Amino acid sequence: MATKPKNLLVIMSDEHNPKVMGHAGHPVIATPAMDALAARGTRFTAAYTPAPICVPARAAFATGLHPHRTRCWDNAISYDGSIPSWHHALRARGHTVTSIGKLHFQGLKGQDYGFTEAILPMHVTGGTGDVTLLIRDPEDVREGGARKLIAEAGPGESSYTLYDRQVTAAAQTWLHEQGTRKHDKPWVLFVSLVAPHFPLTAPPEHYYRYARQQLPTPKLPRIEDRPDHPYTRIYGHRSAHARFMQGEGDVQRALAGYFGLVSFLDENIGKILRALEDAGLAEDTRIAYTSDHGDNLGTRALWGKATMYEESAGVPLLLAGPDVPQGASCPTPVDLCDLSATILDAVGAGDAIGELGLEGASLLGLANRPPVDRVALSQFHSFGPDGQYMLRTLRWKYVHHIAFPPQLFDLEADPEELNDLGTDPAHADVRAELEARLHAILDPEAVDRLAKADQAAAIAAHGGEEAIRKRERAAYTLPPSASAA
């Protein structure tokens, strides 16, 4: 069945753990807008980020290409617009394609990202981002960010919540003023919010919704509970969040801040969807919601992203509107590069998928099919000394590490990833099959060498490792001010 071209509203958040939604079965979270969207559309239950860190994930989403093809490896090597994106392809075909909010591209003057208009764009700081992430030293502990996480957890407003309010208001205005104008072709509006990314400072009405109840304790909450895998140990040591939490009270406060930000995000999504409805655009518009990556959220005594566990590498992914099955769940493995292809397909520009050499498939087709045993791919080239690559099939999750033992999880029997089969002799055949599927996509050792060479060149361009080590480790990117925007 050919896709009927319709407008498309894409909403992306930042660092939203896919398990923290009401319709995902979370026991305490309130997400009525996302739950309503899931009820009238399809939820992709095996959706993943191409990289569990902001900049590479967003470059992959923009281009529809995984990090080994964009060569945006970490938060210091960002998208500069030189690789054609779905934005470029749509604008070239006469579509209006507008972004509002966080992009996390390089952001230098004169760079063309392909949008008809970019409103309130948020890019990496100074066009360089956090160059300290170029150094892949396992002992490079990031204490500043760890201390900030708990120090800032609580009620109030942050620069991010204020920014999200601006982005939401701008999206509502665009829908009423620009979305209702006569367009020769369907438009795409990309709205990119920051919540629930730290700081874990949530508006009081949302924070106290959770702070006044006993919140579920994360699984494997203590450092001594952490799985004994070299990369898991390295990330826990480098990020150091758990070391600065003084008991259960700090964990509860951090969770209340995160959950409060998820409900704040949901409030803003609700406002945008109501504006779409009030403007009379709902019947002619499909809607997609996702996030750039998740957050470990205290599981395994880990906070932040940067792991291949479900909480970090998994993302929420909802699709609703014309030709999308309602109230459905699709277990087919997908990643954000599939959403890139979907955007083109949804507005009648499916020919650009092949033209751009995109690696994904349209979710509109996958939503209307029985489960497909394809692979979703994620990769990570920061923090640890080696690259790591995740493949997800219908049943299995396999993680290939260059220097460390592999990881393997049977997600049918062990959805919480409590039993690592990565070195189990009984599963050698499964690992071999998944390793072969990985090599059919890329050469992991060659990609690792390329990433390290690019990072070494970037280190040299920024004055060398000694100079970089003296620079401040950024906890998060500051948003643009209202006056600058």
Cis status, amide bond into 196, omega within 30 of 0: yes
- Rg of the chain over Cα atoms, rounded to whole angstroms, equals 21
Ranges 94-98, 201-205, 326-330, 384-388: which has the least confidence: 384-388
Q: Tell me, what's the pLDDT at 219?
A: 96
Average pLDDT for 149-158: 96
Exposed/middle/buried for 354, CB within 10 Å: 0-12, 13-18, 19+? exposed
Residue entry with tokens 């494997």 = 220
- Alpha-helical runs (H) found in 347-423: 351-355, 363-367
Where residue 467 falls among pLDDT bands split at 50, 70, 90? very high
Q: What is the full DSSP assignment across 279-310?
A: TT-GGGEEEEEEES----TTGGG--SS-S-SH
pLDDT in tens, 96-152: 999 999 999 999 999 999 999 999 999 999 999 889 989 998 888 888 888 999 999
Averaged confidence pLDDT in the chain? 95
**Mean pLDDT (whole number) for 163-172:** 98
Looking at residue 485, what is its pLDDT?
A: 38
Q: How confident is the model at residue 478 (pLDDT cuts 50, 70, 90)?
A: confident
Predicted confidence (pLDDT) per residue in 248-284, tens digit: 999 999 999 999 999 999 999 999 999 999 999 999 9
Cβ–Cβ contacts within 10 Å for residue 123, how many? Answer: 22
Extents of the domains making up the chain:
7-469
* Predicted confidence (pLDDT) per residue in 400-438, tens digit: 999 999 999 999 999 999 999 999 999 999 999 999 999
Query: What sign has the CA pseudo-torsion 64, 69, 74, 75?
Result: negative
CA distance 340 to 427: 34
- What pLDDT score does 231 carry? 96
pLDDT higher than 50, residue 322: yes
Token pair listed for 207? 């924070």
pLDDT at 73 over 70: yes
Count Cα atoms within 13 angstroms, Cβ side, for 332.
20
Place 481 in a pLDDT band, splitting at 50, 70 and 90.
low
pLDDT digits (tens, 9 = 90+) for 347-398: 999 999 999 999 899 999 999 899 999 999 999 999 889 999 999 999 999 9
Contacts 24+ apart (CB under 8 A), 136-142: 136/382, 136/383, 136/384, 136/385, 136/452, 136/455, 137/385, 138/234, 138/237, 138/238, 138/383, 138/384, 138/385, 139/237, 139/238, 140/238, 140/469, 141/237, 141/238, 141/240, 142/238, 142/239, 142/240, 142/473
User: pLDDT at position 482, please?
Assistant: 38
Enter the CATH code of domain 7-469.
Answer: 3.40.720.10
> Which distant-in-sequence residues (6+ apart) come within 8 Å of 424 by Cβ?
408
- What is the rounded average pLDDT of the residues 326-335? 97
Q: Which of 475, 19, 402 is nearest to 239 (CA)?
A: 475
